[in-house]
Amino acid sequence: MSDQPQSIRDLSEVELIARLFSDYAPQDPAVVVGIGDDASIRRGRPGWLELVTTDVLVEDTHFRWSAEHVHAQALGHKALAVNISDIAAMGGAPHSAYVGLAVPGSLEVSSVEALVDGMRCCARHYGVDILGGDTVAAEQLTLAVTLVGEVEEGCAIRRDGARPGDEIFVTGYLGDSAAGLHELEGGQTSTFSDLVQRHQRPEPRVAWGRVIATSGLAHAMLDLSDGLSSDLPRICQASNVGAVVDVSALPMSVDLRSFCREKKLAPDAMALHGGEDYELLVVGDAALAELVPPPGTSRLTRIGTIVAEPGVWQRHGLGGALTPLASQGWRHFG
Amino acid sequence: MSDQPQSIRDLSEVELIARLFSDYAPQDPAVVVGIGDDASIRRGRPGWLELVTTDVLVEDTHFRWSAEHVHAQALGHKALAVNISDIAAMGGAPHSAYVGLAVPGSLEVSSVEALVDGMRCCARHYGVDILGGDTVAAEQLTLAVTLVGEVEEGCAIRRDGARPGDEIFVTGYLGDSAAGLHELEGGQTSTFSDLVQRHQRPEPRVAWGRVIATSGLAHAMLDLSDGLSSDLPRICQASNVGAVVDVSALPMSVDLRSFCREKKLAPDAMALHGGEDYELLVVGDAALAELVPPPGTSRLTRIGTIVAEPGVWQRHGLGGALTPLASQGWRHFG
């Protein structure tokens, strides 16, 4: 009995959810996907599936609160953006948000106004209406956002459809957000302000998600929230396959390369393990490479291949030796 | 500028929401009701409206955590039940729940299991599927629940439709939950265990809400969460009318009367001001009195009348003198 967990900090989030819900089955036949993917899927109006996702951001766990309003605004943006990204990862378009705000009584009214302003601006930008919420007193600032969206029937992309021989793609650049966080933690925001911006104001890939979903070429997709080395294994485990990542193909921005040169950091490691880029990780047909990118974005970058053997591997270039790609995920309750 | 609020504790929840969202208008023409009622209303599948509500419960603000599992189970039940009650208050049937859990790392795994068990039992009882969630670390236990339901087009009951001459009804008994809380706070749970049960395991009136909504006889409705003296003014303000409550007509249980005799408390005050009964407050046609109650419940009780003049008044019996009924609401952030 010595390895029986006693308190929550002995469990990862995945382990906790498994304990609480592994035996759970929804009753309603309208439910297509329940707990376990980026969003739930339920049959909605004719020809459409309803997608719902929820995320909770807690002070000190997910962010460090600053009284500067620019940060409050960014925090409001981000709390909504991470949920929008979950809907994008299923190929859907978001439409309605519900916001639970738990707020310390000592917080300045102007800070809460800035936070909600950030949320409202993000909502407007992505065509989302804020339709409800709850505000309560708490010791830590906590933002619980639930977002509803929809996707055409037959177009929702889950994480469990990857097949051996599929190719692996990503949108945009990897590692920028982690570099931006590094700058913020060092108190530096001016030199690499674009990287800081990428961390503070992620731009979920809704338009790309819609292009990918309606192309019919993708078999599995999720958004990169914890970093490629943590998120790619989720697709592999759900699909019961493995993956090989070509590190030399990872898309990295000019800013990230300059940043890493200056800080003497390895850009590969930032791109492999850095979290919160909120780019899409897409698995499917090689023809995904030909999709016409939405305005303001560039083509998908092919970064690897799905294989039959379970496990996630990395190599440098086609001739490189295969080494295991270790997940550098974090334990939420530790 | 001296009366400009500086921190959140200077504002009530209503004032805060007004500051943040009074100028907010949803863009999507599918939206019927946004922020401000028990639930949002949005056009869904043909002939139906989709209802969504969200509530956040925070340790020490809304409940005092106890390590005893019976309490964890009850807390899980209640966190979902208060949301189900919001859907019932619009006349709807709930179907899907999303649960954000912020949990201290020191919490026992068995307590979290008991809490989720309470939620699962409540969900099953009311035909709700738990379809998603998020678990994160926090200093205070926090439960953010979002619930989705639906109601037939034309049947949703808002809080702004009360008209002079309408009669005011309630389901069930008032004041039981406040009495149960009084017992719990005194460390007593055995003598009046039914009252304690009413506080810990409220039974939202979904079946009654459906009967009322489909009857077409109700003009306004909400659920009694903060107490009649706080909730009735919400209908009056939203509808721009006033109300007269006949205190002698308030439905009180035999248990509440015994409890008040023993504790030398006024039962009228418990029924008028006690919160968390989660009974329905219904305003509309006198014929509401004739509705056939769902199994296990009794007829609606008529407790007063809507009048044109703004304000909420009480009297004892038809001939009694009118005195103002002061709201005894509480400030969330104080």
* Residue A143 C-alpha, separation from nearest chain B C-alpha, in angstroms: 9
* Residue B170 C-alpha, separation from nearest chain A C-alpha, in angstroms: 25
Q: Which residues, numbered 53 to 92 in chain B, qualify as contacts with chain A under a Cβ-Cβ cut-off of 8 Å?
A: 53-58, 60-62
Count Cα atoms within 13 angstroms, Cβ side, for A240. Answer: 0
Greater model confidence, B189 or A254: A254
Q: Collapsing DSSP states into helix, strand and coil, what is residue B124?
A: helix
A21 inside domain: yes
Cβ(A220)–Cβ(A212) below 8 Å: no
Check B52 against A8: CB less than 8 A apart.
no
> How many domains does chain A fold into?
2
Which of B8, B138, B148 is the closest to A107 by Cβ? B8
Q: Is the pLDDT of residue B320 over 90?
A: no
Q: Which residues, 6 or more positions from A220, have their beta carbon under 8 angstroms from its beta carbon?
A: A157, A158, A159, A160, A161, A162, A166, A235, A238, A239, A282, A283, A284
Chain B residue nearest residue A114, CA to CA: B20
| Amino acid identity for residue B202 in this structure | P
In angstroms, the CA A191 to CA A184 distance is 11
Greater model confidence, B78 or A2: B78
Residues B172 and B304 in one domain: yes
ipTM of the complex: 0.90
Per-residue pLDDT, B187: 80
Q: Collapsing DSSP states into helix, strand and coil, what is residue A156?
A: coil
Check B24 against A120: CB less than 8 A apart.
yes
A330 inside domain: no
Cβ(B144)–Cβ(A56) below 8 Å: yes
Give the neighbor-by-neighbor strand order of the sheet with A31-33: A31-33, A40-43, A48-58, A142-152, A93-103, A129-137
Check B131 against A35: CB less than 8 A apart.
yes
| B113–chain A Cβ distance below 8 A for any pair | yes
Task: Read off the tokens for B63.
Answer: 């409940």
Residue of A60, A98, A112 to mutate, testing the B interface (most B Cβ within 10 Å of its Cβ) = A98
Residues B30 and B147 in one domain: yes
CA neighbor of A327 nearest in space, from A198, A250, A177, A224: A224
Interchain CB contacts (distance < 8 Å): A and B: 254
Residues B212 and B299 in one domain: yes
Chain B residue nearest residue A141, CA to CA: B138
Residues A132 and A238 in one domain: no
A62 inside domain: yes
Boundary residue ending a domain (A152, A175, A203): A152
Question: For tokens 């955590």, what's the residue?
Answer: B65
| A22–chain B Cβ distance below 8 A for any pair | no
B332 inside domain: no
| B44–chain A Cβ distance below 8 A for any pair | yes
Tens-place pLDDT, residues A92-131: 999 999 999 999 999 899 999 999 999 999 999 999 999 9
CA torsion, ordered B159, B161, B162, B163, to nearest 10 deg: 170
Check A96 against B9: CB less than 8 A apart.
no
Greater model confidence, B327 or B114: B114
Per-residue pLDDT, A221: 98
B310 inside domain: yes
Residues A118 and A193 in one domain: no
Which of B54, B129, B138 is the closest to A31 by Cβ? B129
| Amino acid identity for residue A325 in this structure | L
Per-residue pLDDT, A318: 80
Confidence at B190, pLDDT banded by 50, 70, 90: confident
CATH number at residue B21: 3.30.1330.10
| B187–chain A Cβ distance below 8 A for any pair | no
Check B136 against A57: CB less than 8 A apart.
yes
A246 inside domain: yes
In angstroms, the CA A221 to CA A232 distance is 9
In angstroms, the CA A206 to CA A215 distance is 14
Residues B218 and B178 in one domain: yes
Residues B189 and B270 in one domain: yes
Check B102 against A142: CB less than 8 A apart.
yes
Which segments of chain A have a pLDDT < 70?
A: 1-3, 66-70, 189, 329-334
Check B98 against A9: CB less than 8 A apart.
no
Q: Collapsing DSSP states into helix, strand and coil, what is residue B322?
A: coil
* Residue A261 C-alpha, separation from nearest chain B C-alpha, in angstroms: 35
- The phi, psi pair for B244, rounded to 5°, reads -120, 125
Chain B residue nearest residue A43, CA to CA: B45
Mean pLDDT of B213-237: 96
Question: DSSP H helical segments within B251-312, as ranges?
Answer: 254-263, 267-273
Q: Which residues, 6 or more positions from B68, have their beta carbon under 8 angstroms from its beta carbon?
A: none
Q: Collapsing DSSP states into helix, strand and coil, what is residue A332?
A: coil
Which of A44, A52, A135 is the closest to B44 by Cβ? A44
In angstroms, the CA A313 to CA A326 distance is 8
Cβ(A106)–Cβ(A73) below 8 Å: no
Which of B26, B61, B120 is the closest to A136 by Cβ? B61
Boundary residue ending a domain (A107, A122, A152): A152
Count Cα atoms within 13 angstroms, Cβ side, for B242. Answer: 12
Chain B residues touching residue A5 (CB < 8 angstroms) = 109
- Provide the strand spans (E) within chain A: 31-33, 40-43, 48-58, 93-103, 129-137, 142-152, 167-170, 218-223, 242-246, 280-284, 301-307, 311-315, 323-324
Greater model confidence, A304 or B38: A304
In angstroms, the CA A192 to CA A177 distance is 11
Mean pLDDT of B37-43: 91
Residues A135 and A173 in one domain: no
Per-residue pLDDT, B1: 44
CATH number at residue A278: 3.90.650.10
Chain A residue nearest residue B18, CA to CA: A113
* Domain enclosing residue B131, as ranges: 8-152
Q: Is the pLDDT of residue B2 over 80?
A: no
In angstroms, the CA A282 to CA A170 distance is 6
In angstroms, the CA B136 to CA B63 distance is 19
Boundary residue ending a domain (B152, B185, B206): B152
Question: DSSP H helical segments within B206-304, as ranges?
Answer: 206-215, 228-239, 254-263, 267-273
Chain B residues touching residue A16 (CB < 8 angstroms) = 109, 112, 135
- Give the H/E segment covering residue A268: helix A267-273
Chain B residues touching residue A52 (CB < 8 angstroms) = 96, 98, 131-132, 146, 148
B161 inside domain: no
pTM metric for this prediction? 0.92
Q: Collapsing DSSP states into helix, strand and coil, what is residue B286?
A: helix
Hey, how many other C-beta atoms are within 10 angstroms of the C-beta on A163? 15
B217 inside domain: yes
Q: Which residues, numbered 127 to 156 in chain A, qualify as contacts with chain B under a Cβ-Cβ cut-off of 8 Å?
A: 127, 129-140, 142, 144, 146, 148
Residues B129 and B180 in one domain: no
Residues B216 and B130 in one domain: no
Residues A72 and A195 in one domain: no
Q: Is the pLDDT of residue B331 over 50?
A: no
Separation in Å, CA A321 to CA A163, A324, A328: 23, 10, 21
In angstroms, the CA A40 to CA A26 distance is 11
Residues B219 and B258 in one domain: yes
Confidence at B67, pLDDT banded by 50, 70, 90: low
Chain A residues touching residue B102 (CB < 8 angstroms) = 56, 58, 142
Check B100 against A102: CB less than 8 A apart.
no
Chain B residue nearest residue A41, CA to CA: B131
| B1–chain A Cβ distance below 8 A for any pair | no
Q: Helices (H) and strands (E) in chain B — how many of each?
A: 9, 13
| A330–chain B Cβ distance below 8 A for any pair | no
